Structure 1
Amino acid sequence: MTDLDQRRLALADELAVLMRRAGMSGRRLAAAAGWQPSKVSRILTGKQAVSDDDLITWCAATDAPPADAERLRDELRSIRAEAARWSRQAAAGHRALQEDMSALEHRAHRIRSVDLALVPGLVQTADYARALFASLARIRRTPPDTDEAVRARLQRQSVLYDSSKAIELLTTEFALRQPVGDRAIMAAQLDRLRALDGLPAVRLRIIPLDVPLPVPFLHGFCILDDYVLVETLHQDASTTIADDVALYGRIADQLWETAVEGDEARAVLARARWA
């Protein structure tokens, strides 16, 4: 569960407190608000987003003190602003997202990147990143700021040379065999991965195709110290909740143990080169 999810549920809990203090059931509140009872249930369980009008109506129906009503409206505005942040950035293109990620990586002491279907962004070549950003811009229908996004992604990679950091990159043989761009782009990308051996802060591991996974690998994620970021096609999700960070840490640990590095990783890279 992300920080944003937690905040939404906390807001729902506060609405439930207002309802109980007013001595109202969900059905009675729905009748007072002119809603279907199912709407009250969905709001209380976090299954329906609360609009500003919904919040005003709820506070009026439960005779909430003005100070409480204003505080809840401020929290709702903050939640909505956070939820819209990624969408606004993506709507402007991919450069801003790369710059945000760069700031997070430069502050972090330990970076753990786990990718199922892609080469980790920190070690992508310019041509691989360009093909990826161009594809994402088409599917997301966002401004094609591909060159700016590529430059920002390459600037992120300066952290690879910071010996004070611990950087663990985990990807799969599937990702190395799945072309992004043409064969020449993939060949250069594989060469780039082979060249990581000389970077003391970086460890690369690869999960071979024939290795059973110890946990479901539903999506990639990145752990930066005690912060977890998961990016999807329509938004990103982040969390600093200790239990969530620990969960992703356990997943990363188990997947890391199934992967290979050193000579075995170079053998996987060789197989992918000639696949």
Structure 2
Amino acid sequence: MPDIVQNPFAIQPGTVQRGLTRIRALSAGETVADAVVPLLVWEYSYAPRYFFAPEDVRAELRPAGEGERSRVLGPSELFDVVLGDRVLRRAAQRFPEAPTEGMRSSYTLTWSAMDTWLEEDEVIHFHGRSPYVRVDTLHSSRHVRVVANGEVVADSHRPVILTETGLVPRYYLPRVDVRMDLLSPTDAVSYCPYKGTARYWSVTAGGLKVHDAAWGYETPLREAAGVAGLVCFWPEKSPDLEVYVDGERIVPS
């Protein structure tokens, strides 16, 4: 019997695909690039980078020397992006020896050098979005119990289960079902282009403190709106942090 596939949607680094939605990059209100059919290039498996054909670049590109060599795309060339009197230094890159011939003349832009990225007319947050990632939130009556070093931290029969392509399900709990007195906010922050900005809590229970062991989204993006204000625990953080679903412990992979 064939093995069960764990993640059939893992994208191999070096994959190049034509996009199906318009992508724009702007700086201070000026359009730097605008492509109805951009190239999506996975230099790494978790997210694509957007590449623009020369005719889709609206700014002047001025050669700025050699860039870093990519393990999968080869050597690169850097360019300053010139917008009138403004210069975004070394903010564009090209890979003239890339394995896929169709992308060798195309340019990618440094994400942080642009202040606005748009997919059609919606803002893209943090990095490029994969067309193969889907996020769903599902209300459930499953029993979720969280135990830290022998002390019950949360007990709920009304979790919201968040599923995201390629990742394990996560169980988000109402705060009234969580011992919030055992949680203390931290400075940790993480960013996701599908869910938004997450902030973290440490859990102190049973004489043990597990740092950044829970997180939540106060104002998630549209796909994850169902988990707004809820709390999710991270059993991978410590073997002393146990999450049970219907009596069965989640074993971190």
TM-score (norm 2): 0.25
Which one has a bigger Cα radius of gyration? 1
- Larger fraction in helix: 1
**Which structure is richer in relative contact order (CA contacts within 8 A, separation 6 or more)?**
1
TM-score (norm 1): 0.24
- Larger fraction in strand: 2
